[in-house]
Amino acid sequence: MGEHVDGQSSPQQTAFSGVSRKTLERLALPGDNRELVVAEVTYPPGGAAPLHRHPVGGIVYIVEGIAESAYGSEPPRVYRAGETLQDRPDLPHTLFRNCDPDRPLRFLTIYALEPGRAYTMQP
C-alpha cells in the first residue's frame, strides 16, 4: 500500500500516493523462519487504499483518526483511535480509508512474516 520511509521497498507492495510507512521493529521469532514486523503507517486526509490483499493475517491498531475497512462483500466497519482490527489473509481488502478529510490517519501494523515478504499485495 505505499512507500517506505525506512528505505526498504518491495515491488509486490500495492502503492498509492501520500502514504508514509516506517518500520519500528523487526524481531526474529525463535524456532521459526519468520520475523515479527511492527510498522507505523500514515494515510493522508481522505486517503484510500486501492483494492489489495494480505498474504498473512495481521493486527492493525488505530493510533489516531478514523478508519473504515471492509473485506470481500462484507459491509464496511468504522474503527477509531484505540481500537484494533484484523487484517485477514488472502481475502480482497475491498475498502480501507481515512474517513477524515482534514486530518491524517495513523496506525500500527503487526505481522509475522518470512524475511523480505510484503504484507500488502495487489489482488
Q: 20-113 architecture in CATH?
A: Sandwich (2.60)
Instruction: Give the DSSP H/E element, type plus range, for residue 27.
Output: strand 20-28
Amino acid occupying residue 18: G
How far apart are the C-alpha atoms of 56 and 61, rounded to whole Å?
16
Domain ranges of the chain: 20-113
Q: Give the model's confidence band at 14: pLDDT under 50 very low, under 70 low, under 90 confident, else very high.
A: very low
Compare 77 and 89 and report the one with higher pLDDT: 77
β-strands 77-80, 105-113 pairing: unpaired
pTM for the complete prediction? 0.82
3-state secondary structure of 43: strand
pLDDT given for residue 78 in this prediction: 98
